[in-house]
Structure 1
Amino acid sequence: MKKLACLLLAGIISVSMLAGCGSEEKAAQNSSASQSTAPQTAAQTSDNTPVTVKFANWGMSEAATKPVFEQIAESYKALHPNTTIEYVGIPYGDIKQQTFVMAASGNAPDIIQTHTAWFSTYATSDIVEPLDDLLGKEYIDDIIDSYKADYTYNGKLMGIPWAPSPYVLYYNKEIFKKAGLDPEAPPKTYDEMLDMARTISKVKADDGNKIYGFGEATDKLPINGLVALRNIYSFNGSVYDKDSKVNVNTPEVIETLKFYQTISNEGLSPAGAKLKDLRNLFSIGQLGMYMDGYYGKAVFRNLSGKGEAYDKVWGVALVPVNKTGKSVSIGEAHGLVISKDSKVKTQAADILKYITSKEMITQYHKSNDVLSARKSLSADPDLNDSDFARICVEQLNSYIQPLPANNPGMEQGYLEIATALQRVTVGKEEPAKVAQDLDAKLKGLLK
């Protein structure tokens, strides 16, 4: 029955193309670790029995992250000669569906890379193992509280956050100059941000193309519903009320929907945009401001065609203050889970600790700007090595609000929120009516 349930779930899982990931190359090569020298940060395994730990991920399928994954396997092999990490490379958009199918057929990988936006589907299933006993209290207490909450279900830690990313404000300094704005003075409040967006939208690019003032992703994808929580929280709203009951038919959520409708009606933001559309527009000088994770830096370098030189064009700032009186953001993260059917859970847990150790996170940061979700590393100089990194770390440590509690219907709930955004932006529907309908939808899903 368990396998049948997994197959049925895998069959209805929607494949979502989410934020924060680079190219989706179709090549998915399996790679076994080779020996190398590396600092010892994980416990040595005393048992000399050969062990293979299968690790399903999309990192091996992407050129930007493949070298890091190879280094992790090689370094771990040097410390644990009897343990081999065998990568199962699966493209980003396919990994959730494929790993559920693998679990249903009795061939689940030992470790699976996942993402916050669809982590609830794993956490509430029966294919992943709770990690409290495997990782221990000391390690778990070191996870930043908001991220620990995001990866918990029914009081148990069901995964760990890896490569966490807060949403921060990116702004184009050259566009600011063109619009007569101070390129070193990004907006500090939502009102200032809207005023600047209106000013920016009055100018055009050198080639005559339109420049949008401020972009929000509103395409019908679960990730866009998740990202919209940043605005809902900023308007002092929530998905649940003080009694932990679903309630989005509130003045705060209605005001959030009006905000989306305003930036759409005034032409400040491109209609029906995906996050990748906003990144592209920002990289080619047709978007003044938008909010994204730490990975924006690498994306801009690539899409602009200017490499590191493009770093001089843009700046980064904390999310502007809105109704709460402080900067409010959400975090997302690439996550790691251990399969319930794994026969090598102890070794898999040790690999999770190694991957999130200072040495490995520092290497990953140097190549891909990733951050750490561990409290003990938040002030580490190696992870605060630029103004860009320091802004991201400040947002991460001080101004992140947890996502709604994991629920079997949460991923579909995010899709319903994204649908509501489309209704007010593309459909031009009345925000109050949309909030009422969304409330009914979420109450049916989040039981």
Structure 2
Amino acid sequence: MLRDRKTWLILFAMMLTFISLIIVGHTFVTLPPAEVDEGEVVSGKRDVRQVLNFAYLSSGTGSEMKQVVDRYNEIQSEVRVEMLSISPGRYSEMLNMLMASGKGPDLLTIHHEWITTYMNKNWLLDLTPYVDKEFLNNYPKFAQEYGRSNGNYYTFPTRSVTTRLLYNKTMFRQAGLDPNKPPMTLEELVKSADLIARSQVGTQKRGFALAGGEDWKGFVQSMETANTLSGSYLFDFSNGTYDLTIYKPWLHSMMSMVKQESLFPGETSLKYDTALTQFTEGNIAMMIVNSGDLSVLQRGQPLSFEWGASMPPAVDADHAGRGALMMHPEPSIAINSSTEHTNEAINFWRYLHEERQLGEMFQMSCIPSIVKGINDNPLYKPALPDCEAFMPGTLDSFYPRDPVWQDDYGTVRPYDDPNAGWTPRMQVYRDILSGKADMNVALKNESDRLNNQLQRAVSDYRLDPASYLNPNFNPRLPLNR
């Protein structure tokens, strides 16, 4: 017995020593240097061209950009562009960390919510010396001003994102609904979703899906953007204040569908890709999507059902068409001001902004172009069917930029978890849908927080009210001043 105990103690001591060596080794053990990668092997030869790193984000699959980059690499003898692999769901977070650490890519696409911050932090190369009048004339006025600060140009949006209600016509027919009459109001949406769910009893099929597990596509796209068609947005450009209480009808509608079990399960955790996959498999009848999703819908086998796309539902019949449906720019391309390969980066940036590349990307993806002479050019007629439903119409429009100041991000709401996500208001929406917060109190508190933040920024001269305030703002013509 004693011998066994002694053996056990020896083994235990050896184990502790081994663990200690591992832990200490992280600090004191010098590992042999890793083999240096001198380039990719192409056709049996080492590729020693200068590498440009390119961080890219798209509302679609991004496959069209990969083809454009591959073609560029084929014609270059001195430079090779490598597209970084960054999860779309964490793209802005990872890119922000890379830029703040000084290890950002040579070129990058920036989500429109972060443009002002990147310009304020001097993270972007001034492109003013590299653009001329001919280049600028290809862009509408708002696009010229989009990435401009203190008279200098830093980025130009080239593509736009439109928002639509995607619906399964086959499931409409099965529920006794007219497949050519999608819901026009929130009330009709709730009723249609209920009828569809009842017609699918015994299955996991539902009438509507909310990707509440994602901030942008779950709430900004599906609620805040969709609501602009009813004439209201979370920021009132006419008086310069925030008001989130305008989303009560939308949130009430989602909660009604939860109760009647017509909303796809997981309303506050469902990921967008999962929801879109469930739609393609015929398990979801309706969801709010964007123009980039058309390429996702068409990339696999043809869908086994007929589908359609329409404008999102309005709050009610009286509010329908009171405003233009907000369009968003696709993440725009810029150059890192700290790149060590400025000339090479500028050449690639110019290449991406040439008509041929812009036209072929539209042709492959059906993501509408902002640049003049692309969308209506027969040379670039989209290869994807049903593209027309996502093209901008008279009811679609870009809006002025929301007020953004340098410390706008990372702030937290005072009454709950500081780890609130992309912005605190997203967690407010989730808390309401999950029953953790009273709708009236939560929306008012978050509105007050945003307005107090805004006023502090103005008082501290970190924000000029004239840059976003428009007393004559018309939601039907949002860019008019």
The normalised TM-score by structure 1 is 0.72
Within 5 A, what are the aligned runs for 1:16-415?
A: 52=50, 54-58=52-56, 65=62, 68-75=65-72, 78=75, 81=76, 84-92=79-87, 93=89, 95-104=91-100, 106-119=102-115, 121-143=117-139, 151=147, 157-204=153-200, 208-219=202-213, 221-227=215-221, 228-242=223-237, 245-248=240-243, 250=245, 252-270=246-264, 271-272=267-268, 273-301=270-298, 307-310=300-303, 312-322=305-315, 323=319, 325=321, 328-345=325-342, 347-381=344-378, 382-384=380-382, 388-395=386-393, 398-402=396-400, 404-409=402-407, 415=423
Q: Give the whole-Å Cα distance in 2 for the aligned partners of 1:144 and 1:275.
A: 32
SS in 2 for 1:394: coil
Distance 2:285 2:435 in 1: 25
Q: Is the 8 A contact 1:327 1:399 kept in 2?
A: yes
Instruction: Count the aligned residue pairs.
Output: 394
Q: Deviations over 1:353-376 (max 9, x none)?
A: 422333223333444443322133
Distance 2:287 2:143 in 1: 23
Structure 1 CA distance, aligned partners of 2:308 and 2:433? 28
- Classify the secondary structure of the residue corresponding to 2:207: strand
Query: Which residue type is aligned with residue 450 of structure 2?
Result: L
1:200-249 CA deviation, whole Å, 9 max, x = no partner?
A: 232217xx323322223323635534323213423432333345633215
| Aligned residues with identical type, % of pairs | 16
8 Å Cα contact 2:79-2:344 kept in structure 1: no
> Alignment partner of 2:345: what SS?
helix
Equivalent residue, structure 2, for 1:423: 431
Q: Is the 8 A contact 1:171 1:289 kept in 2?
A: yes
- RMSD between superposed Cα atoms in Å: 4.0
Q: Which amino acid aligns with 1:142?
A: N
Distance (whole Å) between structure 2 residues aligned to residue 257 and residue 88 of structure 1: 39
Distance, in Å, in 1 between the alignment partners of 2:41 and 2:220 is 36
Contact 1:384 1:393 in 2 (8 A): no
Structure 1 or 2, whichever has the larger Rg, is 2
User: The residue matched to 1:378 in structure 2 has which SS?
Assistant: coil
Please give the alpha-carbon distance, in whole angstroms, between the structure 2 residues aligned to 1:353 and 1:434: 47
| 8 A contact 1:56–1:90 mirrored in 2 | no
Give me the TM-score of the superposition, normalised by structure 2: 0.68
CA distance in 2, matches of 1:268, 1:367: 35
Aligned partners of 1:391, 1:82: CA distance in 2, in Å? 42
User: SS state of the match for residue 377, structure 1?
Assistant: coil
State the structure with bigger RCO (CA 8 A, min sep 6), 1 or 2.
Answer: 1
Identify if the C-alpha distance between structure 1 residues 385 and 224 changes in structure 2 by more than 3 Å, giving closer, same or farther.
Answer: same
Indicate the residue corresponding to 1:18 in structure 2.
Answer: none
**Is this contact kept in 2: 1:361–1:372, CA < 8 A?**
yes
Residue 134 of structure 1, CA deviation: 3.4
Secondary structure of 2:236's counterpart equals coil
Deviates more, 1:68-77 or 1:291-300: 68-77
Partner deviation per Cα, 1:308-351 (whole Å, 9 max, x = no partner): 42175322223345525256143251321211223554553443
SS of corresponding position for 2:373 = helix
Q: CA deviation at 1:89?
A: 1.7
Distance change (3 Å), C-alpha of 1:88 and 1:390: closer
CA distance 1:225–1:68, shift in 2 (3 Å): closer
Q: CA deviation at 1:82?
A: 6.3
- Is there any run of 5+ residues in structure 1 with no aligned partner, and where? 1-28, 35-49
In structure 1, how many angstroms separate the alpha carbons of the residues matched to 2:255 and 2:320? 21
